[in-house]
Amino acid sequence: MAEAFKFELVSPERLLVSAEVESVVIPGAEGEMTVMAHHAPVMTTIKPGVVTVKNSSGSEERYVVFGGFADIVPAGCTLLAESAVAVKDVDRADLARRIQEAKEDAADAKDDQSRSKAEQFLSQLTTLEGAILPA
């Protein structure tokens, strides 16, 4: 059994998780990463995706996050999300609204850099939609 460490998932609205866990998989900007006890210190930005939390009991919980950053130290990990919700509580209409807004942002972009950033965010949202919602 893996050693437990302190994990907190915080959104502007509320504290979603504050628990001793075995591992956490986070969607870092440079790719997914698994955090375990005694992890090397790292600070990373978070892209829209799913955070998977493996509790000390062995059960898993999944949360959708929309951006933010994670502060990882040997004793624990704090993920500050721009927005977060449990996968089981995902609102299909809210996700569809976010995708529509991202499409509009891409279409309304004034320059290539803004358009590229909006298209990347749209791609992340549609990938997320496919990963968490049944067809």
Q: Read off the pLDDT of residues 77-103 as tens digits, 9 standing for 90 and up.
A: 999 999 888 888 877 888 889 889 999
What 3-state DSSP class applies to 61? Answer: strand
Q: How far apart are CA 49 and CA 47, in angstroms?
A: 6
- The pLDDT, as a whole number, for residue 1 is 61
Average pLDDT over residues 65-88: 92
What pTM was estimated for this model as a whole? 0.76
At 50-64, the pLDDT tens digits run: 999 999 888 999 998
Is the CA virtual torsion 31, 35, 40, 45 positive or negative? Answer: positive
- The pLDDT, as a whole number, for residue 134 is 62
Give the mean pLDDT of the chain: 89
Within 8 A by CB and 6+ apart from 104, the residues are none
Local confidence band at 23 (pLDDT 50, 70, 90 cut-offs): very high
